[in-house]
Amino acid sequence: MNGTRLFILGALAKDGPMHGHQIRRAAQQDRTELWTDIKPGSLYGALHRMAADGVVEVVRTEQEGNMPPRTVYAITPEGWEELAEHRDEALGTVRIPPDPVDLALQYTQGLSTAEVRRLMTARRDEIAERLRAWRELQQQAAPYLTGYEPLTFEHTLFRFEAELAWHDRFLDNMGDGP
């Protein structure tokens, strides 16, 4: 499953033909980098590759004022098929990536318990800050969310809350170290 291709095909399927800047702006407005592995800067290259693969096609070139010409893309029948494949794979795949903290904790010999506590507390505080920021973003976005978007916000909130709870449990139970 390729998240960038899924996003581009999904955006074109949802909103119709668009040029790369519109797709990039949609990614930035959706804040895709917060909940996916998509980088808005990678969208242009992906669009060119997808056109070469025949899943999107150039429908026209537009130029407004002094702006550079912009190529408008649309999804092709092959693109609709690929969209369904990526979407169905993503909906059917459970992927919780391993967290390197688990590996790092296995190699804390040589660190004092106080140092491990300091590092883990700083990590816990970073997660708490991200949770706070995500809640704030959710409140700001709430009036504009449609469909399943409120639930996807909740999904991310639950994941941050679970991470925070685990860190609190770790800190409460770490004792005097290994």
Give residue-wise pLDDT tens across range 48-102.
Answer: 999 999 999 999 998 888 888 889 999 999 999 999 999 999 999 988 888 999 9
Residue 142 DSSP one-character state: G
Closest CA to 88 of 178, 170, 10: 10
Can you read off the two tokens belonging to residue 62?
């537009």
Can you read off the two tokens belonging to residue 4?
């960038």
148 sits in which H/E element? none
Domain chopping of the chain, boundaries: 3-92, 100-173
Of 1.10.3470.10, 3.40.50.720, 1.10.10.10, 3.40.630.30, which CATH number belongs to 3-92? Answer: 1.10.10.10
What is the DSSP secondary-structure string of 26-69? HHHHTTHHHHSS--GGGHHHHHHHHHHHTSEEEEEEE--TTSPP
The rounded distance, in Å, linking the Cα atoms of 153 and 167 is 21
Q: What is the 3-state secondary structure (H, E, C) of 16-34?
A: CCEEHHHHHHHHHHCCHHH
Question: Contact at 8 Å (CB) between 12 and 74?
Answer: yes
pTM attached to this predicted model: 0.75
Residues 112-128: b if buried by 16+ CB within 10 A, e if exposed? eeeebeeebeebbeebb
Half-sphere exposure of 76 (CA within 13 A, CB side): 12
- The radius of gyration of the chain from alpha carbons, rounded to an integer in Å, stands at 21
The answer to whether residue 169 scores a pLDDT higher than 90 is yes
The answer to whether residue 119 scores a pLDDT higher than 90 is yes
- pLDDT tens per residue, range 30-53: 777 666 777 777 888 999 999 999
